[in-house]
Amino acid sequence: VIEEVYLDHGNTSKSPSPQTTFIVKTKQRRYYLMAPSGEAARIWIDVIFTGAQGYTEYLE
């Protein structure tokens, strides 16, 4: 289950491009993903979060 999706503002991933790196946090682990641009990262974050929220609502 996805708990959070957010930009890696603190650069915890030590990414060479933290403005395009985002994190998908689950109960088991964190996934560090990189988009081709900051705008693409924000779109991915929105889509993943919206999908996870819809799935959670569907299960209820």
Query: Would you call 8 exposed, middle or buried from its count of C-beta atoms within 10 A (0-12, 13-18, 19+)?
Result: buried
Kindly report the pTM of this predicted structure. Answer: 0.86
* pLDDT single digits (tens) 1-56: 899 999 998 898 999 998 999 999 999 999 999 999 999 999 999 999 999 989 88
Are the C-beta atoms of 31 and 49 separated by less than 8 Å?
A: no
Q: How far is CA 21 from CA 4, 43, 49, 52, in A?
A: 14, 12, 15, 19
Q: Classify 23 as helix, strand or coil.
A: strand
Distance of alpha carbon 48 from alpha carbon 56, whole angstroms: 12
Are the C-beta atoms of 8 and 23 separated by less than 8 Å?
A: yes
